[in-house]
Chains A and B, each alone.
Chain A
Amino acid sequence: MLRNRVNYLGLATMLAVVGLWEALVRSGVVEFQFLPAPSAFGPRIGSLVSSGDLVPAFLHTLQVTLLGWVLASTIGIVLGLLLGLSETAWRYSMASIEVMRAIPPVSLVPVALLVFGFSIRMELTIIIFVSAWPVLVNTIDGVRGVRAELVDVARMLRLSGLTRIRKIVLPAAAPAIVVGLRLALSLSLVLAVVGEMIGNPSGLGDALVKAQQALQPEEMFAYVFVIGLLGVGLNAALRYASARLLPSLAAGGGGVTSP
């Protein structure tokens, strides 16, 4: 069903950009004190791995991102089902949801910091608070968008309430929910890194800030590159998983791998 082909054109563009960057820095056309060429920070990744600095930080960020995402997704899907299925619940809560969603995510970081201190709880709280929204809103849309015909089919075949949700509503809403899950995953990584930069002193975000304060641009770019790789990897993994689980949902290509 699914063949992950490498998008050679996309990769070539990426390599060309990196090559241009290298050429501009080396030739001296672009000259900043703290802007290293890719060839200068690339090898730093290897040395950070062998020094034992990178792997624990990477694992911390990965773990917090995934944990926060799973919790946010669970909350989003459960609440989304409730609000999508119950007209009353929807009427009572939609105004609050619209207002709370409009709060820029980062503005909650100081609040969470004050409430939870420098801890993993603070990191998780901001991830969940921010990432649950796209899942919640997309689940509500997906559930409310289930076609009336399918509801009629479920009724005339006398499916019970829970069976109806499991066999009709959830699969019909799945494409919308998956969109929410993908948005939430990227947000989770962003918020994990922000939380580590400002609040919880561990992980890649913290390492990045420390490299900056130590005036180590090569190390800093190495961390930026690793965070980018983590983002690409997480997104690809989720795309692969959703294509495996939902064969009728073949998302469009354009990434490093196109399904």
Chain B
Amino acid sequence: MASPLRSRPELTSVPTSDVTGPAYESHNLSVDLDSSEGARRILTGVDLEVAQGEFVSVLGRSGTGKTTLLRVLGGLLDPTADSTVSFRGEPVEGPPEGAVFVFQNYAASLLPWRTIERNVDLGLEGKVSKPEMRQRTAEALALVGLADRAKDYPWRLSGGMQQRVQLARALAVRPSALLMDEPFGALDAMTKSSLQDELQRVQERTGATIVFVTHDIDEAVYLSDRIVVLEGSPATIGHRIDVDLPRPRHQLATKELPAFLKLRRAVYDTIVDVHGQAGDVA
């Protein structure tokens, strides 16, 4: 792939144009986590660059530190002192403005005492005017197809709808980057593919950078511009695979392309090759 930056329609609502460098950049990133035997190194020497507007998937078997890497990028977790992580040229110290998470556990990440609408408001309250908040929340809910459920409580919605609420809450703050931690992992196949396509549309319209953690190879190939594979213990990036499939992608047409099948095979082989067996990577 020549450049990860694709040409996009001029619909973008995200102020990405003021910075031209990469969205994320990490050098020699290592992470220690506390365990019962003291600090344990989870990630080591991770060098990652994510261009603005790029869709990068992080693959790896469970327990390799995919979520840990995402939390470091999002400023929720500190790496070791000799690591450098920057977001749009600024070192990451705590969650930076302009990057938001979509967590895996949607049920636990929404506020059950707030309506859908008020959940989406959460990131805007006190930061924009009331009328603007109303408008942005309505837009975000419309974008994920939940405009008619605004006054409902999250626990009255299905899992797929709850995950849409989380996506709307993230989009309402008009982020330049979305950090998504296995967001569709707990959903059924039908809901999963419709949300994948929704995410594609969202990215097309907003131009947001997306770092997407998954253990689903098909999903990674289908959605990404590039896939990085975490391997080893402590883990580091073992493989980087460019996915130069044409966009917009289509659940059936794209997945029938010989190029798709070849990539899918290549990614699968990478993971089987590394671990001797596929393990719990589906």
Taking the complex as formed, is B111 at the interface, i.e. its CB lies under 8 A from any CB of chain A? yes
A160 — nearest CB in chain B belongs to which residue? Answer: B126
Taking the complex as formed, is B122 at the interface, i.e. its CB lies under 8 A from any CB of chain A? yes
How many contacts A-B (CB < 8 Å)?
A: 53
Identify the stretch in A6-14, A97-105, A144-152, A190-198 within 8 Å (CB) of chain B at 4 or more residues.
Answer: A144-152
8 Å CB contact of A149 from B74, B108, B113, B173: B108
What residues of B have a CB within 8 angstroms of the CB of A163 in the complex?
125-126
B107 — nearest CB in chain A belongs to which residue? Answer: A149
A158 — nearest CB in chain B belongs to which residue? Answer: B95
Interface size on B, residues (CB 8 A): 23
Taking the complex as formed, is B112 at the interface, i.e. its CB lies under 8 A from any CB of chain A? yes
Identify the stretch in A26-34, A167-175, A207-215 within 8 Å (CB) of chain B at 4 or more residues.
Answer: A167-175
Taking the complex as formed, is A248 at the interface, i.e. its CB lies under 8 A from any CB of chain B? yes
Q: Give residues 167-208 of A contacting B (CB, 8 Å).
A: 167-168, 171-172, 174
Contact B111 A174 (CB under 8 A): no
Taking the complex as formed, is A2 at the interface, i.e. its CB lies under 8 A from any CB of chain B? no
Contact B76 A152 (CB under 8 A): yes
Contact B103 A149 (CB under 8 A): yes
Contact B109 A248 (CB under 8 A): no
Distance from B155 Cβ to chain A, minimum over Cβ atoms (Å): 8
A157 — nearest CB in chain B belongs to which residue? Answer: B123
Per-position binary interface string of chain B over residues 119-139, scored 1 when its CB falls under 8 Å from any chain A CB and 0 otherwise: 000110110000000000000
Q: Give residues 41-73 of A contacting B (CB, 8 Å).
A: none
Distance from A146 Cβ to chain B, minimum over Cβ atoms (Å): 11
What residues of A have a CB within 8 angstroms of the CB of B75 in the complex?
156
Taking the complex as formed, is B105 at the interface, i.e. its CB lies under 8 A from any CB of chain A? yes
**Complex CA–CA separation, A126 to B99 (angstroms):** 52
Contact A156 B74 (CB under 8 A): yes
Taking the complex as formed, is B101 at the interface, i.e. its CB lies under 8 A from any CB of chain A? yes
Q: Give residues 90-105 of B contacting A (CB, 8 Å).
A: 94-95, 97, 99-101, 103, 105
Taking the complex as formed, is A244 at the interface, i.e. its CB lies under 8 A from any CB of chain B? no
What residues of A have a CB within 8 angstroms of the CB of B126 in the complex?
163
Q: A150-B111, A246-B113 are in contact. Are A155 and B103 (CB under 8 A)?
A: no
Taking the complex as formed, is A251 at the interface, i.e. its CB lies under 8 A from any CB of chain B? no
Taking the complex as formed, is A24 at the interface, i.e. its CB lies under 8 A from any CB of chain B? no
Contact A155 B95 (CB under 8 A): yes
Taking the complex as formed, is B268 at the interface, i.e. its CB lies under 8 A from any CB of chain A? no
Q: Give residues 58-79 of B contacting A (CB, 8 Å).
A: 74-76
What residues of B have a CB within 8 angstroms of the CB of A158 in the complex?
95, 97, 123
- Residue in A152, A159, A172 with the greatest tally of chain B CB atoms within 10 Å: A152
8 Å CB contact of B153 from A155, A168, A172, A248: A248
**Complex CA–CA separation, A171 to B112 (angstroms):** 9
Q: Give residues 61-88 of A contacting B (CB, 8 Å).
A: none
- Residue in A155, A157, A246, A247 with the greatest tally of chain B CB atoms within 10 Å: A157
**Complex CA–CA separation, A150 to B173 (angstroms):** 17
A152 — nearest CB in chain B belongs to which residue? Answer: B76
Q: A157-B122, A167-B122, A174-B113 are in contact. Are A152 and B103 (CB under 8 A)?
A: yes
What residues of B have a CB within 8 angstroms of the CB of A168 in the complex?
111
**Complex CA–CA separation, A147 to B109 (angstroms):** 9
Distance from A153 Cβ to chain B, minimum over Cβ atoms (Å): 5
- Residue in B97, B111, B155 with the greatest tally of chain A CB atoms within 10 Å: B111
B112 — nearest CB in chain A belongs to which residue? Answer: A248
Distance from B112 Cβ to chain A, minimum over Cβ atoms (Å): 6
What residues of A have a CB within 8 angstroms of the CB of B101 in the complex?
152-153, 156
8 Å CB contact of B95 from A156, A167, A246, A247: A156
Distance from A138 Cβ to chain B, minimum over Cβ atoms (Å): 17
**Complex CA–CA separation, A158 to B125 (angstroms):** 11
Q: Give residues 139-155 of B contacting A (CB, 8 Å).
A: 153, 155
What residues of B have a CB within 8 angstroms of the CB of A247 in the complex?
113
What residues of B have a CB within 8 angstroms of the CB of A147 in the complex?
108
Contact A150 B108 (CB under 8 A): yes
Contact B109 A171 (CB under 8 A): no
Distance from A166 Cβ to chain B, minimum over Cβ atoms (Å): 10
Binding site for B on A (CB under 8 A): 147, 149-150, 152-153, 155-159, 163, 167-168, 171-172, 174, 246-248
8 A-B residue pairs with Cβ-Cβ distance under 8 Å, sorted by A, are A149-B103, A150-B109, A152-B101, A152-B109, A163-B125, A171-B111, A247-B113, A248-B155
